[in-house]
Amino acid sequence: MVDRVFPKSFRTKEKTAALDTEKYRSSSGAVHEDPWSILEPIAYIKLDHPYVLARYKEDKGRLVQVRELELQAFSDLGLQRTLNRISHSSFRSLLGRYHHGDSVFLAWEHVEVSIIQILATKFVITASEIIAIVKPILEGIQYLAERGRVLATLTTNTIFLTQSGKVKIVGVEDSCEISASEMDAATMKLYSLADIVIKLMGQCHSWPVEIDNLPDQLKKRSLGEILQTTLFQQRPSPEELKPLVNLTNKIAYHRVETHSHRV
């Protein structure tokens, strides 16, 4: 969801004496600087949390999605420790962390379209596209499991594609620590992934048996066994999903244009 009206907490603050102080980088990698001195907001968006879509003032082609948190909440939730420990290509990259006043601003990699937006287009998804979407998600889940963590949630609203066609899971900062004995298909969100695969498959398609059986396999087999199947032995190219991103964006643009003409 995109909105040009910014919540009060996200509005660019007026310059104060604090902006005149020399910026510095802390040992945690955070920059002590007002992010709106180098970024300009474009739109308010709702993903797993409220964000501001912004661009760098000196490089307007570079987009980021900025989430604001109270400094105390950031510390209490242990997000700093989590963010320092987790880095994997299946998760959206944290490109900048800014401390200013009583807030922390997290500047995340821009993601283009969500799975729920793709489903809304009613496109027929191919078997190779399903594999290209599912494999990075499985690898991300495995990466977390090896570190004693699981995703807090996995839905069609938390899986995105970038403009280049890469799969990115948002919300890794909310992942939870659990014991090895608690790790199973449900807690690792493999049940959730099975439901997402069923939605991607739709109703009117004849699937190869490996795809047809995938939702059931996700619920019954171990993660390691699933990744060892022939279905996931080859590494999908991001190029596989770029047409899906472009078509979804075109449909979304057409709907916005149609709506604006009707107002």
DSSP string across the chain = -EESSPPGGGSPPPP-GGGGSPPEE-TTS-EES-GGGTEEEEEEEESSSEEEEEEETTEEEEEEEEEEEEHHHHHHTTHHHHHHH---TTB--EEEEEEETTEEEEEEEP--EEHHHHHHTTPPPPHHHHHHHHHHHHHHHHHHHTTTEE-S---TTSEEE-TTS-EEE--GGG-EE--GGG-STTTTTHHHHHHHHHHHH-SS----HHHHTHHHHHHHS-HHHHHHSGGGSSPPPGGGTHHHHHHHHHHHHHHHHHHHHH-
- Does 105 map to a domain? yes
Q: What is the mean pLDDT of the chain?
A: 84
The verdict on 249 and 119 lying in the same domain is yes
What pLDDT is recorded for position 69? 87
- Residue 6: pLDDT band (50, 70, 90) is low
pLDDT over 70 (residue 114): yes
The verdict on 57 and 119 lying in the same domain is no
Average pLDDT score over residue span 175-198: 96
Segment 87-108, tens digit of pLDDT:
999 999 999 999 998 899 999 9
Closest by CA to 144, choosing from 75, 219, 91, 222, is 91
The verdict on 126 and 234 lying in the same domain is yes
- Does 260 map to a domain? no
- Does 262 map to a domain? no
The verdict on 93 and 139 lying in the same domain is no
How far is the C-alpha of 233 from the C-alpha of 235, rounded, in Å?
Answer: 7
Which of 109, 141, 160 corresponds to the end of one domain?
A: 109
The verdict on 43 and 56 lying in the same domain is yes
What pLDDT is recorded for position 21? 37
What pLDDT is recorded for position 120? 92
Which of 109, 143, 168 corresponds to the end of one domain?
A: 109
What pLDDT is recorded for position 33? 87
Segment 13-25, tens digit of pLDDT:
443 333 333 454 4
Average pLDDT score over residue span 160-169: 96
What pLDDT is recorded for position 29? 52
The verdict on 95 and 126 lying in the same domain is no
The verdict on 142 and 199 lying in the same domain is yes
CATH of the domain at 39: 3.30.200.20
Which of 66, 92, 109 corresponds to the end of one domain?
A: 109
Average pLDDT score over residue span 126-137: 96
List of residues 6+ apart from 219 with CB closer than 8 A: 185, 190, 191, 194
The region that residue 104 occupies, defined by phi over 0 for left and psi between -120 and 50 for alpha, beta otherwise, is beta
- Residue 46: pLDDT band (50, 70, 90) is confident
Q: In the chain, how many domains are there? A: 2
Domain that holds residue 62: 2-109
The verdict on 65 and 194 lying in the same domain is no
Higher pLDDT, 165 or 49: 165
- Does 259 map to a domain? no
Position of tokens 């939702």? 215
- Residue 49: pLDDT band (50, 70, 90) is confident
What pLDDT is recorded for position 70? 87
CA geometry: angle at 102 spanning 29 and 110, to 5°? 55
What pLDDT is recorded for position 17? 33
pLDDT over 70 (residue 243): yes
- Does 212 map to a domain? yes
- Does 261 map to a domain? no
Closest by CA to 90, choosing from 146, 149, 142, 148, is 142
- Residue 82: pLDDT band (50, 70, 90) is confident
What pLDDT is recorded for position 28? 47
The verdict on 156 and 238 lying in the same domain is yes
What pLDDT is recorded for position 177? 94
- Does 18 map to a domain? yes
